[in-house]
């Protein structure tokens, strides 16, 4: 079992976790959580989204969050920007990098962005040009890489072709996302090993949801496929609209826990991360799906009964 | 990524799941659930435990359960038997096989069974002799194979030596159990590949708890180590006393879901299993940790919004 020695874990809770929350999280609380995350060893944090405040009221304070977080040197602070308007606002607010997104499957892209795949590629091309003018790197997030909740199977060749198109367009990185928890380990291994064989220098990131409990197995498969960048969301916050009651984002602290126990260094303070997940649970006001935040680290032993 | 084509999944909910429940589950309900499980393609089911009714009142109807379930040909119905008294009662009630257990670590064995490891081996030896007289196969369940909540690390060599001692004593199979969710994929791969290299014909079974969300990743590692037998509990019922609120047993339907999606045949009816997990949730009266029972199978697609 060939595994890397070091892995880069990225937290996206302040975007992918918070955006599903109906109750507005106070701006100072969002800033506080980004600042706390900044102390734990991450090299990249996705901190907000510059989207329509009517469509996603939770993200209406995006510029204020970006302007007021404490920037720790060595961390890339990114924001999700769906279009030119969002990208301009994000650049003006001073983000380090832009995260753009679209779906590989036509029906999911239509449902989510109301565009064809080809039109999305063109629209994102304009955002990439804008970002280049301002020296901001762009990461493309490809949704439904491992299955579409409307169409079912998404051919691996479509995913690889689209990712390679974006490499040619000059993106800094590619996120292969399993938007609705449909991926399986064999599929992850086959996609990532083939993509990296064709594009050995591509900065490749995996984003799994734990909808069917398979997220950490998929990460193990991605590691064997050669991927060394993984996204998670603190506490596992953030659900899936198609699976009420099921888990959403893989909990960042569970990813770090598995990697560190497996002897793969993340540079992240797991104890601090567990404490922050427990704090987030209080902020959100309901039980979060993270397991390590409940069970503790493997090395946190217990006294013998009666001892 | 080398994976087997077929895997054998064993359900233990009626023992490892039910035994933690404080409210008594009516005997007819237990029998009903075993009978339903029998229709879904399993080849082995652990259906009860012959233990002290004072210590575990939930299991006081063990003989009645064994006597009244409908025996489906081709299924091995086993029961947990901690000692000679339990083993005699189980044989008298007519089980197909005995499951015995002990811990690899001294402190966990002391806390759980109040014996040293050496004394447990001797006591189990007597049960094996009794079972041989009645032509009943015995499976040894080794707890704390991947870590002890009191001692921490459990040396791999101790686990392998103990397992090989039991092979010499004539057991039909060996369960390596991760009693408190401490295992990691590298450790699972190293233990299983070394054990199977030394004992290629040993009937080897893995039993993981999802306490830290790593159970399915550990199963993926076990598959790569060569193990083709895995235990789970319907709905993920059954907790861990050291991790209040965290998951316990890996949900059988989530195991089957991952394996089938990965192209590994289990012979188990996943749709039926999901329905039975949803039924069990009603019987137990609280939300169970299973994810596939909430999210559905990967192939269960959704209509486009507005379609």
Give B8-295's CATH code, choosing from 3.20.190.10, 3.40.50.2000, 3.20.20.70, 1.10.3720.10: 3.20.20.70
Crossing angle of helices A117-133 and A84-93, in 10° steps, is 30
Minimal Cα–Cα distance from B73 to chain A, Å? 32
Q: With H, G, I as helix, E, B as strand and everything else as coil, classify residue B133.
A: helix
Long-range contacts of A84-88 (CB under 8 A, 24+ apart): A84/A123, A84/A126, A84/A127, A84/A130, A85/A50, A86/A49, A86/A50, A86/A51, A87/A50, A87/A127, A87/A130, A87/A131, A88/A130
| Contact between residue A208 and residue A175 where contact means Cβ atoms under 8 Å apart | no
Per-residue pLDDT of chain B (307 residues; tens, 9 = 90+): 999 999 999 999 999 999 989 999 999 999 999 999 999 999 999 999 999 999 999 999 999 999 999 999 999 999 999 999 999 999 999 999 999 999 999 999 999 999 999 999 999 999 999 999 999 999 999 999 999 999 999 999 999 999 999 999 999 999 999 988 999 999 999 999 999 999 999 999 999 999 999 999 999 999 999 999 999 999 999 977 777 777 889 999 999 999 999 999 999 999 999 999 999 999 999 999 999 999 999 999 999 887 6
pLDDT of A81 strictly over 80 = yes
Minimal Cα–Cα distance from A225 to chain B, Å? 9
**B-chain residues within 8 Å CB-CB of A182?**
298
Q: Average of pLDDT values for A182-193?
A: 98
**B-chain residues within 8 Å CB-CB of A302?**
149-150, 242
Angle (CA) B182-B188-B192 rounded to 5° is 140
Which of A186, A220, A298 is the closest to B185 by Cβ?
A220
Which of B147, B185, B224 is the closest to A262 by Cβ?
B185
Q: Read off the DSSP letter of residue B304.
A: P
Q: Round to whole Å and give the CA distance between B83 and B105.
A: 19
Contact at CB, A184 and B245, closer than 8 angstroms? no
Contact at CB, B110 and A304, closer than 8 angstroms? yes
Q: Round to whole Å and give the CA distance between B299 and A69.
A: 42
**A-chain residues within 8 Å CB-CB of B147?**
298
Number of other CB atoms surrounding residue A21 within 10 Å = 15
Q: Round to whole Å and give the CA distance between A88 and A86.
A: 5
pLDDT of residue A88: 98
Residues B190-215 as b or e (16 or more Cβ within 10 Å = b): ebbbebeeeeeebbbbbbbbbbbbbb
**B-chain residues within 8 Å CB-CB of A110?**
304
pLDDT of residue B244: 76
Q: Which residue has the higher pLDDT, A305 or B111?
A: B111
**B-chain residues within 8 Å CB-CB of A281?**
none
Contacts for B278 with CB less than 8 Å, ≥ 6 apart: B293
Contact at CB, B298 and A213, closer than 8 angstroms? no
**B-chain residues within 8 Å CB-CB of A146?**
none
pLDDT of A243 strictly over 90 = no
Q: ipTM surpassing 0.90, yes or no?
A: yes
**A-chain residues within 8 Å CB-CB of B188?**
none
Q: Average of pLDDT values for A136-144?
A: 98
Q: Round to whole Å and give the CA distance between B216 and B208.
A: 8
Which of B1, B212, B302 is the closest to A186 by Cβ?
B1
| Contact between residue B270 and residue B9 where contact means Cβ atoms under 8 Å apart | no
**Which residues on adjacent β-strands are paired with residue A10?**
A231
User: Radius of gyration (Cα) for chain A, nearest Å?
Assistant: 18
Contact at CB, B219 and A217, closer than 8 angstroms? yes
Q: Average of pLDDT values for A154-172?
A: 98
pLDDT of A242 strictly over 90 = no
Cα Dmax for chain A: 68
Q: CA torsion angle for A94, A61, A180, A158 (degrees, to 10)?
A: -40
Contact at CB, B304 and A107, closer than 8 angstroms? yes
The domain segmentation of chain A, as residue ranges, is: 8-295
Q: What digits encode the pLDDT tens for the residues B65-102? A: 999 999 999 999 999 999 999 999 999 999 999 999 99
**B-interface mutation test, from A220, A290, A296, most B Cβ less than 10 A away:** A220
Catalytically active residues of B are: 240
Angle (CA) A221-A225-A228 rounded to 5° is 90
Quickly tell me which residue has 């080809």 as its tokens: A118
In A, minimum Cα distance to B214 occurs at: A216
Contact at CB, A221 and B1, closer than 8 angstroms? yes
pLDDT of residue A7: 98
- DSSP string spanning A114-133? SS-HHHHHHHHHHHHHHHHH
**Which residues on adjacent β-strands are paired with residue B46?**
B78
Contacts for A28 with CB less than 8 Å, ≥ 6 apart: none
From the candidates A14, A145, A148, A240, give the one annotated as an active-site residue.
A240
Contact at CB, B302 and A149, closer than 8 angstroms? yes
Contact at CB, B251 and A213, closer than 8 angstroms? yes
Contact at CB, A257 and B216, closer than 8 angstroms? no
pLDDT of residue B306: 75
Which of B1, B107, B254 is the closest to A189 by Cβ?
B1
Instruction: Give the number of residues written for chain A.
Output: 307
- DSSP string spanning B250-295? PBHHHHHHHHHHTT-B----HHHHHHHHHHHHHHHTS--S-SHHHH
Instruction: Give the number of residues written for chain B.
Output: 307
**B-interface mutation test, from A150, A185, A250, A293, most B Cβ less than 10 A away:** A185
Q: Average of pLDDT values for A118-122?
A: 98
pLDDT of residue A102: 97
Which of B220, B242, B251 is the closest to A302 by Cβ?
B242
**B-chain residues within 8 Å CB-CB of A181?**
291, 295
Contact at CB, A243 and B296, closer than 8 angstroms? yes
Q: Round to whole Å and give the CA distance between A163 and A154.
A: 14
**How far are the Cα atoms of A270, B19, B127 from residue A69, in angstroms, in the given order?**
22, 50, 65
Q: Round to whole Å and give the CA distance between B231 and B233.
A: 7
Q: Average of pLDDT values for A281-303?
A: 95
Q: Of B210, B207, B277, B205, nearest to B239 (Cα)?
A: B210
B166 exposed, middle or buried (CB, 10 Å; 0-12, 13-18, 19+)? buried
Residues above pLDDT 90, as percent of chain A: 94
Q: What digits encode the pLDDT tens for the residues A11-62? A: 999 999 999 899 999 999 999 999 999 999 999 999 999 999 999 999 999 9
Contact at CB, A245 and B287, closer than 8 angstroms? yes
**B-interface mutation test, from A292, A295, A299, most B Cβ less than 10 A away:** A295
Q: Round to whole Å and give the CA distance between A173 and A229.
A: 10
Q: Average of pLDDT values for A66-85?
A: 98
Contacts for B30 with CB less than 8 Å, ≥ 6 apart: B14, B18, B47, B48, B61, B65
| Contact between residue A51 and residue A80 where contact means Cβ atoms under 8 Å apart | yes
**pTM attached to this predicted model:** 0.98
Q: What digits encode the pLDDT tens for the residues B184-215? A: 999 999 999 999 999 999 999 999 999 999 99
pLDDT of A10 strictly over 80 = yes
Q: Average of pLDDT values for A99-118?
A: 96
Question: Is the torsion defined by CA of B62, B68, B74, B75 positive or negative?
Answer: negative
**B-chain residues within 8 Å CB-CB of A254?**
212-214
In B, minimum Cα distance to A261 occurs at: B184
Q: Which residue has the higher pLDDT, A242 or A184?
A: A184
Contact at CB, B212 and A3, closer than 8 angstroms? no
| Contact between residue A145 and residue A159 where contact means Cβ atoms under 8 Å apart | yes
Strand A97-103 vs strand A138-143: parallel, antiparallel, or unpaired? parallel
Strand B44-49 vs strand B76-80: parallel, antiparallel, or unpaired? parallel
pLDDT of residue A307: 61
Minimal Cα–Cα distance from B257 to chain A, Å? 8
């Amino acid at each position: 079992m060939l595994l890397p020695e070091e892995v880069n874990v990225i937290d996206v809770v302040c975007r992918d976790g918070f955006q599903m929350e109906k109750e507005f999280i106070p701006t100072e609380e969002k800033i506080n959580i980004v600042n706390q995350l900044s102390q734990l060893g991450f090299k990249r944090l996705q901190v907000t989204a510059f989207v329509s405040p009517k469509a996603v009221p939770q993200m209406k304070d995006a510029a204020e969050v970006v302007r007021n977080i404490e920037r720790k040197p060595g961390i890339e602070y990114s924001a999700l920007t769906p279009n030119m308007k969002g990208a301009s606002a994000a650049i003006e607010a001073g983000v380090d990098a832009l995260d753009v997104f679209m779906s590989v499957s036509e029906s999911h892209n239509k449902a989510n962005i109301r565009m064809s795949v080809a039109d999305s590629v063109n629209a994102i091309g304009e955002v990439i040009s804008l970002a280049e003018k301002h020296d901001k790197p762009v990461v493309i997030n490809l949704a439904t890489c491992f299955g579409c909740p409307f169409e079912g199977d998404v051919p691996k060749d479509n995913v690889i072709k689209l990712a390679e198109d974006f490499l040619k367009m000059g993106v800094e990185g590619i996120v292969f996302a399993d938007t609705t928890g449909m991926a399986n380990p064999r599929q992850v291994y086959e996609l990532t090993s083939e993509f990296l064989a064709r594009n050995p220098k591509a900065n490749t990131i995996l984003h799994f949801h734990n909808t069917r409990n398979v997220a950490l197995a998929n990460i193990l498969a991605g590691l064997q496929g050669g991927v060394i960048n993984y996204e998670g969301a603190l506490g596992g916050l953030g659900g899936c609209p198609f699976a009420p009651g099921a888990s959403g984002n893989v909990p960042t602290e569970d990813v770090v826990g598995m990697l560190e126990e497996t002897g793969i260094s993340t540079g992240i303070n797991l104890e601090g991360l567990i404490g922050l997940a427990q704090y987030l649970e209080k902020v959100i006001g309901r039980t979060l799906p993270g397991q390590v935040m409940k069970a503790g680290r493997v090395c946190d032993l217990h006294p013998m009964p009666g001892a």
